[in-house]
Structure 1
Amino acid sequence: MEDGQDGHLLFLSTYIVTFLIGFPANLLAFFTFVRKLRSKPAPIDIFLLNLTISDLIFLSFLPVKMKEAADSMIWNMPYILCRLNIFLFFLPIYSSILFLTAVSAERFFCVSFPVLYKGRRRIIYSLAISVSFWVLVVANASVAYWAGYNSSQKENASEELPPPTGQRCYSNFTKEQLKNLLPVRLNIVLVFFCIPFIICCFCYINFIRILSKLPHIGRRRKLRAIGLALGTLVVFCVCFAPYNLSHVVGYIKRENPPWRMKAVMLSTLNASLDPVIFYCTSWEVRKIIKRGLRGVFGKHCTSVSSEHSTK
């Protein structure tokens, strides 16, 4: 994060745009999936609901990052918020990757094994997978926290990673901290990016291939399937790939890459791109959005027609 003070307005504008787009869209999706699960639950809705919760956790903490960016990346807030930064900012990145992978696998099994997929226990399995994912990401964030903070305190109790108020948060690592933290980051790349990305590519390639061979599948559904696959690919390549690449480069060079902060900034766009996946996957989300657009444009057309009539 060494380049954090350069171009802080870019960080601030990215955070604001992400919040303005992502928060209302994810909030709408959240209530839609909750209502769907109460009436007619499906495994895909459980994974999408957890993905929405992950985004909302991230977006709820984003105003703190806006304040940091507005202060030229200087941490002028309480020290406890800097500690929460590790969990409430980075943890949703890992959980989002896992639930995006779960959505891709669910879509693949839905069309590949339709008879087996209709089993009653599929809801229980989806709940168990979701709980396991949350346990995994919390445990991973805890290990990263321990590697970044506590390792230096054993060597020198006077050195704390986030300095007191008025300096930067989670950026200036000692050699001892990097020695413990860099292998953890490399493990994160493998578990939370490489393996999920391979699974997503395999599932969506076969998902689209199977749908294209089914004659009774309409053109719109096939286009939504392509949109779902492309949307997930964009999220992985734009939001998560640079962030994980910084881990690999950092491990090779045994340092924090100077551009790592910009890679972290790109990961925030995930919360504003996930609604595209919600739209392509959920019929209920599409219905609410279309109803809202009809209401907005209907009122606009009515007001325009009334103005012409009065003239």
Structure 2
Amino acid sequence: MELNRTLDNTSDSTCTIGNFKKEFYPVIYLIIFVWGALGNGFSIYVFLKTYKKSTSVNVFMLNLAISDFLFISTLPFRADYYFRGSDWRFGDLACKIMSYSLYVNMYTSIYFLTVLSVVRFLATVHPFQLLHTTSIRGAWILCGIIWVFIMASSAVLLKRGYEKNNDILLCLELSSLKLTRLKIMNHIALVVGFLLPFFTLNICYLLIMRVLLKAKIPESGQRASHRKALTTIIIALLTFLLCFLPYHILRTLHLVWWSPGSCGELQKATVITLALAAANSCFNPFLYYFAGENFKDRLRAIFRKALVQTSKAKCSLPFRT
């Protein structure tokens, strides 16, 4: 839900938060863009290149990477907006998409990470039953449900575009007139979009630790499966703790204490946590590499093939004197 606009309110000219955002956001967003575009773009390539040998886990990871890549593509526009001192130059529709994409990415990421952790956990407890219940088709259906649910619930953000303020166009701002409504939206998003998945993730972590501490795993295949499950949940938890938890805490506190013209360290903190929330796209490629089904092997195979082709191309060059 679009709460970034209230967090980014800069209507008070005496407030230095505008200067802070102008210096902070462009640099951070461009760093996230380069890192995230390379990591997620290449991950999508690997998943699609080896799709015939894919699993339900990789289907969830592919959808997570697509969500990240779509959001990453909007960051140069955000960086340009703040670099110009909060002056939008790309039209009303693009302005609506900026806020919409942020929250669609955030909550699809949260749900895809949670589903991945639950599937990994169930694979350690009921591997044979899970094998029959989690097909590629079933994984795509669940991904579709998540996409439709998040996109539909965030559709309210597409109703409001840029606002004119003298000679500039404000895109990521919202007046205090909608504050009561924003508080309600925040509480719903906080519970359904964050707390419910976060508690589910913690339960999975505790239960899988219990299973690993009690069970004796003689087979190397089972050990690898349990290790991937634990790695998936740990990376997901770290992403929640570093990216999503600070943002949701500061966003809620800001909406409770915010008033027109307010300015202070809390506003700067919300700016930083919003950047951390956007940075979640940079951490997911580590999940694919360390916990994806045969992702490492497929990545090495692609590199080996590329090196072989490069070597053949060099050898086929005509000899010149």
Normalising TM by the smaller chain, what interval?
Answer: 0.7 to 0.9
- In 2 relative to 1, CA 110–97 (structure 1 residues): closer, same or farther, beyond 3 Å? same
Alpha carbons 1:279, 1:286 under 8 Å: kept: yes
Structure 2 unaligned residues grouped into runs of 5+ = 1-7, 10-16, 261-265, 308-321
Aligned counterpart for 1:228 among listed residues 232, 256, 259? 232
Aligned to 1:267: 277
- In 2 relative to 1, CA 186–292 (structure 1 residues): closer, same or farther, beyond 3 Å? same
Aligned to 1:60: 73
Aligned to 1:168: 170
What is the RMSD computed on CA atoms of the aligned residues?
Answer: 2.9
Kindly provide the amino acid, as one letter, of the partner of residue 190 in structure 1. Answer: V
Distance 2:182 2:65 in 1: 29
Alpha carbons 2:162, 2:170 under 8 Å: kept: no
**Most deviating of 251-260 and 61-70:** 251-260
Q: What's the offset of the Cα at 1:210?
A: 2.5
Q: What's the offset of the Cα at 1:7?
A: 4.6
Aligned to 1:193: 194
Structure 1 unaligned residues grouped into runs of 5+ = 150-159, 298-311
**Most deviating of 98-107 and 242-251:** 242-251
Q: What's the offset of the Cα at 1:85?
A: 1.0
Aligned counterpart for 2:151 among listed residues 138, 158, 165? 138
Alpha carbons 2:58, 2:293 under 8 Å: kept: no
Alpha carbons 1:97, 1:193 under 8 Å: kept: yes
Encode CA deviations 1:168-220: one digit per residue, 9 max, x unaligned: 32223232x11212201111011111000111111133234424534235577
Question: Does the alignment pair 1:110 with 2:143?
Answer: no
- In 2 relative to 1, CA 140–254 (structure 1 residues): closer, same or farther, beyond 3 Å? farther
Q: What's the offset of the Cα at 1:96?
A: 0.6
Secondary structure of the equivalent of 1:118? Answer: helix
Kindly provide the amino acid, as one letter, of the partner of residue 245 in structure 1. Answer: I
Encode CA deviations 1:282-308: one digit per residue, 9 max, x unaligned: 1432124446788999xxxxxxxxxxx
Aligned to 1:304: none
Q: What's the offset of the Cα at 1:129?
A: 1.5
- In 2 relative to 1, CA 281–144 (structure 1 residues): closer, same or farther, beyond 3 Å? same
**TM-score, scaled to structure 1:** 0.80
Kindly provide the amino acid, as one letter, of the partner of residue 258 in structure 1. Answer: Q
Question: Does the alignment pair 1:252 with 2:261?
Answer: no
Q: What's the offset of the Cα at 1:144?
A: 4.6
- In 2 relative to 1, CA 44–224 (structure 1 residues): closer, same or farther, beyond 3 Å? closer
- In 2 relative to 1, CA 45–220 (structure 1 residues): closer, same or farther, beyond 3 Å? closer
Question: Does the alignment pair 1:81 with 2:94?
Answer: yes
Question: Does the alignment pair 1:278 with 2:292?
Answer: no
User: In percent, how many aligned pairs have the same letter?
Assistant: 21
Aligned to 2:242: 238
**Most deviating of 113-122 and 126-135:** 113-122
Alpha carbons 2:46, 2:299 under 8 Å: kept: no
Alpha carbons 1:86, 1:141 under 8 Å: kept: no
- In 2 relative to 1, CA 161–65 (structure 1 residues): closer, same or farther, beyond 3 Å? closer
Secondary structure of the equivalent of 1:163? Answer: strand
Distance 2:106 2:92 in 1: 22
Distance 2:306 2:210 in 1: 38
Distance 2:304 2:195 in 1: 41
Aligned to 1:40: 53
- In 2 relative to 1, CA 198–121 (structure 1 residues): closer, same or farther, beyond 3 Å? closer
Kindly provide the amino acid, as one letter, of the partner of residue 30 in structure 1. Answer: I
Aligned pairs, how many? 284
Encode CA deviations 1:39-97: one digit per residue, 9 max, x unaligned: 23422111111101110111111111121232233323323221111222221111111
**Most deviating of 282-291 and 44-53:** 282-291
Alpha carbons 2:162, 2:169 under 8 Å: kept: no
- In 2 relative to 1, CA 294–21 (structure 1 residues): closer, same or farther, beyond 3 Å? farther
Larger relative contact order (C-alpha < 8 A, sep ≥ 6)?
2
Secondary structure of the equivalent of 1:258? Answer: helix
